[in-house]
Structure 1
């Protein structure tokens, strides 16, 4: 009879504290699209550069550029866990100064995003938020 451990080697090391610093630029007119890049850092010293692609739709209008984006990951055991497609729900509003608040999820992993920048935008949207290694 084979015995399998209840946790993987990655989980044995414990949950990592990881965060994302990013820049994102996009537009929306019912359909929403944005692209950018960032860097994920974790408390174990690991670092990963990422490309960001966000697509969705809803009642949303505008054009914005987020310069000072920050996100916090929850449920990460190794840095590469951050990569992939997240389900996204977003509320955004601003004129001249743009602000963003969004929570995205992928299975048991969550990413809470905030950001400040320039542009004008208003709306609510749902869609996807994808992190790929660059």
Structure 2
């Protein structure tokens, strides 16, 4: 019985160590950004931002989105923020993230979750302007040289 208890404790500690090692493989990165958008059926969003990670790396980025749907208006987001999940390298940040958004913005908060494979980006910001509708599109993040 004593040997079974020792074996269970050993197994539990190995499982715990494996979970900690896997979690430490993921990188914690945040995005700060400014955006402006306009739409009249077709929606266009553009902006710039900075990605910073807990390992000291950073990357200036450009943000651009285009989509279609029932939408009209213009708005901007100043000092928005986001957080990435499931990143293992800052080089995984650039790419195209899926976006499905229903919105009605008039100086109110806006939050979305965007995905690119297993990587997710949760973004939030305060919108200024007037924009209403439903749009479906993609947000492309590229390195800003």
Which bracket does the TM-score occupy, shorter chain normalised?
0.7 to 0.9
Corresponding residue number in structure 2 for 1:131: 141
User: Structure 1, residues 39-83: CA drift from partner, whole Å, max 9, x if none?
Assistant: 001111110000000111122111001002111111100111010
Q: Distance in 2 between matches of 1:92 and 1:108?
A: 25
Higher-strand-fraction structure: 1
Q: Distance in 2 between matches of 1:133 and 1:72?
A: 17
Compute the TM-score of the two structures, normalised by the length of structure 2.
Answer: 0.79
The reply to whether residue 23 of structure 1 matches residue 25 of structure 2 is no
Compute the TM-score of the two structures, normalised by the length of structure 1.
Answer: 0.85
Are 2:29 and 2:83, in contact at CA under 8 Å, matched by a contact in 1? yes
User: Structure 1, residues 87-125: CA drift from partner, whole Å, max 9, x if none?
Assistant: 111232222x14322221111111111111311111221
Return the match for 1:65 from 71, 76, 80. 76
Corresponding residue number in structure 2 for 1:117: 127
The reply to whether residue 34 of structure 1 matches residue 45 of structure 2 is yes
Greater radius of gyration (CA) = 2
Unaligned ranges ≥5, structure 2: 1-21
Unaligned ranges ≥5, structure 1: 1-10
